[in-house]
Amino acid sequence: MLQEFVKTEGNDATVLQDQHGIICGIIMQSAAQKKCFQEWGDCLLMDRTHGTNNLGYHLGK
């Protein structure tokens, strides 16, 4: 999925791993998100969806 995402010009993704090599975070930013942040970064909040996903895992606070 990440490989397909970054094929689109301007999209970026980073995978964060802890000291044991376990993935502890995935950061994705689309070209459109970058443009919005450049325009309104001083007052913009990117919502990570509301609370949980379809599996019930919390996505952020």
**Whether the Cβ atoms of residue 36 and residue 44 lie closer than 8 Å to each other:** yes
- Predicted model pTM: 0.62
Residue 9 CA to residue 24 CA, distance in Å, equals: 26
Delimit the domains of the chain by residue range: 1-56
Task: Quick: pLDDT tens for 34-57.
Answer: 998 899 888 877 666 666 667 766
User: What's the pLDDT at 7?
Assistant: 96
Give me the chain's average pLDDT, please: 85
The region, left, alpha or beta by phi > 0 then psi within -120 to 50, assigned to residue 49 is left
